[in-house]
Homo-oligomer: A and B are copies of this chain.
Amino acid sequence: MTAKSQKGWDGEPGELLRVREGFRLSDVDPDATPGYDGRKKHGQADLEAGEAQFDELQERLYAQSRVVPGSPSVLLVLQAMDTAGKGGIVRHVIGATDPQGIRLTAFKKPTPEELQHDFLWRIERALPGPGYIGVFDRSHYEDVLIGRVRALAPPEEIERRYDAINDFEKRVTDAGTRIVKVMLHISYEEQKTRLMERLERPEKHWKYNPGDVDERELWPAYMDAYQTVFERTSTAHAPWHVVPANAKWYARLAVQELLLEALEAIDPQWPAADFDVETEKARLAAT
């Protein structure tokens, strides 16, 4: 089962979008659709086709974990500037599979209790157990993004965190979790368009916050902070992927494909019965 062969991809997003040595965020075109032929109509059809595949792989992953101790899990880490489409990924990509196999956590501004602990404390508690697909809507990376841009911690503490993150993610992957790190990348102009849409539609007003405009002033500082994140934390065990996200359909398709690649690498199998099937049929028939 190779997802690629069934679809409009002419390359693997896992390879094409991966942050490698020498990567520059400023070189990425947010309008691009790397590895895909670029037609929205086909993209939406492929997204639907991928749903069945995602759904079966998720169920296998879960089923395996119910029988085999220490089974693997998957963790999708989503980071992005506001309006980039994290919510749409959760809804349209993750939402296509069984809610019972998903562990979704949206990280907000830390609570007073969370602030009394190391920044990774709340992250650790939200990790998916065996067989689950965890989804982080924002994550520990906020602590080196807004944390750095708004100087929420001293520079030496921010500095310490990059290595702490790498050590943490190494331990998590060693314990059997495949981490898929994604930054959805939109342009400064696209964000303006999307915020304006929220202002123009009353049923979208609740998604708008006046602070969003103030944050735009800090856009270059955020891009710098992301660049540093990529340089310091795109590791062999947990590489980053930057997904151009001005075209929502492409971003969703690419993230679905990254998840499919991770699940295919795990290749979860329906577990064998740990009971004698014929005996059980006879016992059941007698009831």
**Residues of chain A having any CB pair with chain B under 8 Å:** 63-64, 66-67, 87, 90-91, 94-95, 97-100, 102, 104, 106, 137, 192, 195-196, 199-200, 202-203, 205-210, 213, 216-217, 270-273, 275, 277, 280-281, 283-285, 287
In the complex, residue of chain B having the shortest beta-carbon distance to the beta carbon of A212: B284
Q: Which of B67, B205, B213, B280 contacts A272 (CB 8 A)?
A: B205
In the complex, residue of chain B having the shortest beta-carbon distance to the beta carbon of A137: B100
Contact, CB under 8 Å: B270 / A192: no
User: Which residues of chain B come closer than 8 Å to A137, judged between CB atoms?
Assistant: 100
Assembly CA distance A94 to B272 (angstroms): 30
Name the distance in Å between A97's Cβ and chain B's nearest Cβ: 8
Q: Which of B66, B98, B199, B270 contacts A277 (CB 8 A)?
A: B199
Q: Which of B104, B196, B275 contacts A99 (CB 8 A)?
A: B104
Are A208 and B100 also in contact (CB < 8 A) when A202-B270, A287-B216 are? Answer: no
Q: Which of B192, B208, B277 contacts A273 (CB 8 A)?
A: B208
Assembly CA distance A56 to B106 (angstroms): 21
**How many chain copies does the complex carry?**
2
7 contacts between A and B (CB under 8 A): A63-B207, A64-B206, A95-B95, A192-B287, A199-B277, A203-B270, A205-B272
Contact, CB under 8 Å: B205 / A270: yes
Given pairs A91-B100, A94-B99, 6 additional interface contacts (CB within 8 A): A87-B98, A90-B99, A95-B95, A100-B104, A205-B277, A208-B273
Contact, CB under 8 Å: B284 / A206: no
In the complex, residue of chain B having the shortest beta-carbon distance to the beta carbon of A191: B287
User: Which residues of chain B come closer than 8 Å to A100, judged between CB atoms?
Assistant: 87, 90-91, 104, 106, 137
User: Which residues of chain B come closer than 8 Å to A98, judged between CB atoms?
Assistant: 87, 90-91, 95
Q: Which of B66, B209, B213 contacts A287 (CB 8 A)?
A: B213
Assembly CA distance A218 to B205 (angstroms): 54
Contact, CB under 8 Å: A284 / B199: yes
Contact, CB under 8 Å: B63 / A206: yes
In the complex, residue of chain B having the shortest beta-carbon distance to the beta carbon of A102: B99
In the complex, residue of chain B having the shortest beta-carbon distance to the beta carbon of A211: B275
10 cross-chain pairs, A with B, having the tightest CB-CB distances, nearest first:
A205-B273, A63-B206, A203-B270, A91-B98, A216-B287, A213-B283, A210-B275, A206-B271, A95-B99, A199-B281
In the complex, residue of chain B having the shortest beta-carbon distance to the beta carbon of A271: B206
Contact, CB under 8 Å: B213 / A284: yes
User: Which residues of chain B come closer than 8 Å to A275, judged between CB atoms?
Assistant: 208-210
In the complex, residue of chain B having the shortest beta-carbon distance to the beta carbon of A62: B206
Are A66 and B206 also in contact (CB < 8 A) when A284-B195, A284-B199 are? Answer: yes
Contact, CB under 8 Å: A281 / B208: no
User: Which residues of chain B come closer than 8 Å to A203, judged between CB atoms?
Assistant: 63, 270
